[in-house]
Homo-oligomer: A and B are copies of this chain.
Amino acid sequence: MNVLIVHAHPEPRSFNTALRDHSVKILDDHGHAVKVSDLYAMGFNPVAGPADFGDRADPDYLVYALEQRHGHEMGTLAPDIAAEIEKLMWCDLLILHFPLYWFSVPAILKGWIDRVLISGLTYGGRRFYDQGGLKGKRAMLTLTLGGREHMLDSDAAIHGRLNDMLKPLLQGTLAYTGMTVLPPFVAWHVPYVDDATRAGYLDAYGERLRTLDSLAPLTFPSLDTFDDAMRPK
């Protein structure tokens, strides 16, 4: 299995980064090939803009998704985007690995999504959800956060359910592009827990990575149940 870990944490000595390093070792020990895009270490540019295109279908008016399609067809996407797309297409499993910022990904990782998951390849026209361009790949979120599980484990919890907060990522991004989405791996309350608890998270994540095939994926819409205007049949 080829695994791409897209990682975003500003502190190289963080527990989040240790969890990433641990996962690389576990995956490597099990014979998988692993690539890591460490966005902070790469100085990745997260801002979608005109400089992303070496050639423009319309130099005077930027429609970002149309220029993504044009740039992909012509091979004129910016080199940093093209390099990430190559890793994305290589992988069988994509892991987005991050600390939760405002119940979402840090901006540097949002920019990886904005710039790398290009129209014309990962989605476009009727190619989304179970017809998405990345069909056949699996994806997973791995996140650390400050909150406790009881704050995000039911409709009555103070923030509701974690997977509802993550809906734009789980459904609107990963499932939208056709990937099979595994349940998120979550390390709770990280800044406040003791070393034994952190060691427990490392062990649990190792176990998770060894048993991916036994996990039931999350379920999302199928285009089969919608008509051509995307209304429910």
Q: Which residues of A contact B (CB under 8 A)?
A: 10-11, 13-14, 40, 46-50, 61-65, 101-108, 110-111, 113-114, 117, 129, 146, 148, 150-151, 156-160, 164-168, 171-173, 176, 191, 221, 226, 229-232
Given A11-B61, A47-B46, A167-B165; A104-B108 close (CB under 8 Å) = no
Q: Are A13 and B61 in contact (CB under 8 A)?
A: yes
Please name all residues of chain B whose beta carbon is closer than 8 Å to the beta carbon of A129 when the two chains form the complex. Answer: 158
Copies in the complex: 2
CA distance A48 to B176 in the complex (A): 27
What residue of chain B has the Cβ atom nearest to residue A65's Cβ?
B146
Residue numbers in B under 8 Å from A226 (CB-CB): 158
Cβ of A223 to closest chain B Cβ, rounded Å: 8
Contacts of A164 in B (CB 8 A): 164, 167
A171 to B164, CA, bound (A): 11
* Chain B residues positioned under 8 Å from A48 (CB to CB): 10, 101, 106-108
24 contacts between A and B (CB under 8 A): A11-B64, A13-B61, A40-B49, A46-B107, A47-B107, A47-B108, A48-B101, A63-B191, A65-B146, A101-B110, A101-B113, A103-B168, A103-B173, A104-B104, A106-B110, A107-B113, A107-B114, A129-B158, A148-B230, A151-B230, A156-B232, A157-B232, A158-B226, A165-B167
